[in-house]
Amino acid sequence: MEINTTKSQLTPASTLSGLNKFKHFLVLSLLITFSFNAFAADNSEQPNKELSKEAYLDLSKPYTHKQSNTTKKDNQATAFLKEVAGTARTALGSTNSGNTDQLGNKITKGVSNQLKNQAINKTEGFVNNKANTFLNAFGAGRSEVSIGGLSSKKLNYSLRTIQPISELDANSKALTFIQASIASGKSTDSRRTTVNLGIGHRLLVEDDMAIAGINVFTDYESKSSHKRLSLGLEYQRANFSVNINKYHIFSDKKLVNSVEERGMSGYDVKLSGQAPYLPWAKIKGTYYYWDAKAGPDIKGNVLGVDIEITPSVSFEFGQENNNTMDAKSYGKLTVKLPLGNKQKFTNFAIASKAFKDSRKMDLGALAWVERSNKIMVEREGGDGNTISFKGLTYKLVTSPDTGRVWLDRNLGATQVATSPNDSAAYGDYYEFGRDDICPAGFSVPTEGELAADTTIATTTQIDGAARAFSSFLKIPVAGQNGTADGSISAGLAGLGALLWTKTVGSNATKGRHLAVSPGTNGADFDDLNRDLRLSVRCIKTRTPISFNGLTYKMITSSKTGRVWLDRNLGATQVATKADDSAAYGHYYQWGRNDDGHEFKNSLTTQTQATILTPVSGKFIDSKNVAFKSDWTNADSNGGKRVVAWADGGVNDICPVGFSVPTQAELAADTTGINNDTAFSGFLRLPNAGFRDNKGKLDAIVGSHIRMWTRSVQASNNRHSIYLKFNSGGAIFDVSNRIDGFSVRCIKD
């Protein structure tokens, strides 16, 4: 139960000027008073020491009886809620006045007695009443305050107030106001205090039948010094309201209790309206989005129903769900002090009309701006930055080599491995290629992604079961669980580790997997039948790169661990076959910028450039002219263009953080590939051919590969080096810089 005392007061314009009201508000803000939120669950260590003021009932988990030598009794608040819930079920199912009266009597006596004698001790009750009486003596606005946690020495408090700063009377058509709040309480790691201060403006619209408003808030958390700004829009009618808020964090990453944390920007949309034919019930809905950096973006919703039991008592229940946690139900009983003895109780009858009649709105009601006052944060390391998925909570671990983020244990495992053969860390077993088995924002790794943090890692290289366990991934020897039809039995548990990747094997019946044997020098990737059930470790999906109107994914080499774009620069898709023309991409003259010349059908010109950065957008051809080998005379040895084609260079054609590869970089990831296997390799290289020095697509388009490096020939620096393939493998040759070849970008 949240114990709140509220007051709404309308003062004539002549009583106080806007300036004096603002002064009163500033004085009020200095008188920091408090609000309490706790949990109405039994504390086995301190039974009945403290009962909560707001009861959140977790309805998402089934009740499981465990035999014990002692009988655990409901605390008094829980017992009371069960009584009310039982009576409410009967009353809500009937319009019988006797049932309704029974519910009313139960709440009248029960709430009064429980609140007075059980839910708050005398000290808290005295402080809350005095604080609210004192608080509402100031200004013309509305305020709420309460204190809790005194008996447990874990003080929790909050205050919120809304105060008009423009003249407000019964004839006012517009209102400017300030809303402020301060809340402090124990978080998971430390006490956090958050201050919110905003200014808003509201107008009566639609013949006074609705209120429209705009507001700006700033939020500050003292422990972390996180700062946030928000812009909000609101619309209110008698039976419906909507609030839209956009939040922008403008503080940097902070170190709090040895854990790095970052505030998150985002937005939410809050809707509330009367339930059809149920004038005593409101339907509430919230959609929210938080922009995460270390983990997946958080997208979720809260759906609930708020039932008015009396003007002072209401019960809200519903469910919250987002992509980083399992669905969680909640229940909240709210009681506003003072609790009257002669309040009328709701007759839970079904109305004859779907909605109550609309009425004119009153700016003097001073409805709260509905927003998220708490600054949302994500944490890297420590006890924060976790994901709840299918009943388990995983931490996120970051590779010291690649910086990639992984789940801290195998999917389905109940704990991180404490030893190589810790069976609780084995997790579940999956067939190859199962869809959507990882949390949102995560996926089964490719062979390259898993290799980069295991077999070819620098600081965490795995060569056997011992090092697999000692690595940051803590890989246990979970073995395999056979096939579903029993044709292959489970085996190797306690001996070897087998992890699926999502990389397809040599044929349709195979998938690639990591096999780690008990000894040293025993870790490698190989094909395995898809129906065999192995462990899975999920990796955070990289955010795709948007560049020049196209969206690229990043792929990781299993040979070098280097990261490449998933297709040729300018291609609209990854190659689906060797002669997939949509995967050919653009044709670049060596070292030139992306001014438009690279399009396969761009216009041509026979005027040689005199600078490194032409902007004509035309492909420079050499037919019928004296120059044959180069599109510019500004860099005869190519040295300037080697630099210009690197990340940040004047002719940088790759996304930020990427460059055109050198000969050595491209060679390291194409060794062992020939013209027949180039398409089936992880780079998926299509037979794009090239555009010749006359500006025409050569006849080899569709049958051969020509791909630029940014390296020059040492013996004759008037030529540059490119990659091609024959039946024997990869070959690096030289060509005139005026030719147009494909480009594949590599991450620096």
DSSP string computed for 45-93: SSTTS---SS-----SS-------SSPPPPPHHHHHHHHHHHHHHHHHT
> What proportions of the chain, in percent to the nearest 5, are helix, strand and coil?
15, 35, 55
Say if residue 237's pLDDT is above 90: yes
- Predicted pLDDT of residue 25: 39
CA proximity to 705, closest of 684, 549, 377, 337: 684
Averaged pLDDT, 678-682: 90
Kind plus residue range of the DSSP H or E element containing 99: helix 97-114
- Predicted pLDDT of residue 62: 34
Place of tokens 């949990």: 39
| Rounded Cα–Cα distance for residues 256 and 263 (Å) | 12
For the ranges 180-189, 237-246, 448-457, which has the lowest average pLDDT? 180-189
For the ranges 147-151, 292-296, 463-467, 550-554, which has the lowest average pLDDT? 147-151
Q: Is the dihedral of CA 372, 375, 376, 382 positive or negative?
A: negative
Sequence length of the chain is: 748
Region class of 210: left (phi > 0), else alpha (psi between -120 and 50), else beta: beta
Confidence of residue 29 (pLDDT cuts 50, 70, 90): very low
Say if residue 40's pLDDT is above 60: no
Both structure tokens of 674: 């020939």
For the chain, the structural domain boundaries read 2-379, 385-541, 544-748
Contacts of 145 (CB under 8 A, 6+ apart): 4, 5, 33, 34, 35, 128, 131, 132, 135, 157, 158, 159, 160
The amino acid present at 732, given as its one-letter code, is F
The string of pLDDT tens digits covering residues 635-652 is 999 999 999 999 999 999
Higher model confidence: residue 474 or residue 716?
474
Confidence of residue 120 (pLDDT cuts 50, 70, 90): very low
Phi then psi for 251, rounded to 5 degrees?
-110, 155
Confidence of residue 4 (pLDDT cuts 50, 70, 90): very low
Q: How far is CA 323 from the centre of its chain?
A: 8
| Rounded Cα–Cα distance for residues 506 and 132 (Å) | 73
> Domain 2-379 adopts which CATH fold?
Porin (2.40.160)
Averaged pLDDT, 21-28: 39
- Predicted pLDDT of residue 422: 94
- 3-state SS assignment for residue 476: coil
For the ranges 163-172, 335-344, 351-360, 710-719, which has the lowest average pLDDT? 335-344
The string of pLDDT tens digits covering residues 383-442 is 446 888 888 999 989 898 898 999 999 999 999 999 999 999 999 999 999 888 998 889
Count the neighbouring beta carbons within 10 Å of the beta carbon of residue 317: 16
- Predicted pLDDT of residue 391: 87
Specify which residues 243 forms β-bridges with: 234, 270
- Predicted pLDDT of residue 331: 84
- Predicted pLDDT of residue 130: 55
Specify which residues 215 forms β-bridges with: 200, 232
Say if residue 471's pLDDT is above 80: yes
Averaged pLDDT, 171-191: 86
- Predicted pLDDT of residue 6: 36
Angle 575-581-585 from CA coordinates, rounded to 5°? 80
Both structure tokens of 503: 């990389």
Say if residue 22's pLDDT is above 70: no
Q: For residue 338, say if its preceding peptide bond is cis, omega within 30 degrees of 0.
A: yes
* Average predicted confidence (pLDDT) for the chain: 81
For the ranges 330-334, 433-437, 570-574, which has the lowest average pLDDT? 330-334
- Predicted pLDDT of residue 189: 58
Say if residue 26's pLDDT is above 50: no
| Strands (DSSP E) found in 381-443 | 386-389, 392-398, 405-407, 442-443
The amino acid present at 166, given as its one-letter code, is S
- Report CA dihedral (344, 345, 349, 352) to the nearest 10 degrees: 30
Say if residue 84's pLDDT is above 60: no
Higher model confidence: residue 415 or residue 97?
415
The string of pLDDT tens digits covering residues 187-234 is 655 778 999 999 999 999 999 999 999 999 999 998 889 999 999 999
The string of pLDDT tens digits covering residues 527-545 is 999 999 999 999 999 889 9
3-class SS string, 136-180: CCCCCCEEEEEEECCCCCCCEEEEEEEEECCCCCCCCCEEEEEEE
Q: What letters, b where the CB count within 10 A reaches 16 and e where it falls short, cover 629-639? A: ebbbeebeebe
Averaged pLDDT, 607-612: 94
